[in-house]
Amino acid sequence: MGQDVEGHKLIRQGAEGRIYTGLFLGRKCIVKERFPKTYRHPALDERLTKERMRGELRGILRSKAVGIRAPTVYFVDTKRNAIVMELIENVDTVNVHIGQVLQKKIPSGDGTEDLKDLARQIGVVVAKIHAAGIIHGDLTTSNILVDRTTTKNPSSICLIDFGLSHVENSAEDKGVDLYVLERALTSTFSSIPWFFEELLASYRKTYVMGGEEVFEKLEEVRLRGRKRTMVG
């Protein structure tokens, strides 16, 4: 992990790489390291890995440039294909947060207003990155973090894991981003179908120039998804 990161500890390993925690110059950090894929030709693997890293860095930096909360990048190790970035604290994934509200582990009435606030802020954040031409590429409830203290403003939302992100103004890609998020929400939280509708209403209000075209593409993507389900 190099001399710059101290006390690194592996916390997760997936198909694309390993995630460590540690300290970088005295600051808590996350290290995302991509390892070689032996099933790919070495030259192709190296090129794809570098492209993924550049895409992730670009997605983070562009999101922060338009006022969206994302981890601060501390260091890029090109030899190990690793990115050292800020460890975001005092947050939960949206998946965990919604689950806690529905199980009434977060005391706020019946939780409806808390979840409506959360849906609206996610809608604002997604609309802002899309308006800036940023496609997240893996917009799931596990890659959106929410502050444990509030859900009432966009800064309470933090986007992570930009490994599949790219810069593209295609309404189709934005529609797919929304569809991925919709599927993540409805597959886990079918008891609150209004959550995504609240999110879309906020998205529409925020993304005034271009949002309608994205909505049209979202409907097309939904239709294709239903057809694949029926065929399968």
Which residues does the annotation mark as catalytic?
138
Residue 23's beta-bridge partner residues? Answer: 6, 28
Which residue type does 51 have?
Answer: E
Which two three-digit tokens encode residue 102? 């529905």
- Residues shown for the chain: 232
Q: What are phi and psi of 61, to 5 degrees?
A: -65, -40
Which residue type does 186 have?
Answer: T
Which two three-digit tokens encode residue 159? 């986007």
Helix (H, G, I), strand (E, B) or coil at 82: strand
CB atoms within 10 A of CB 151: 24
Which two three-digit tokens encode residue 131? 């308006």
Cβ burial, residue 14 (10 Å; 0-12/13-18/19+): exposed
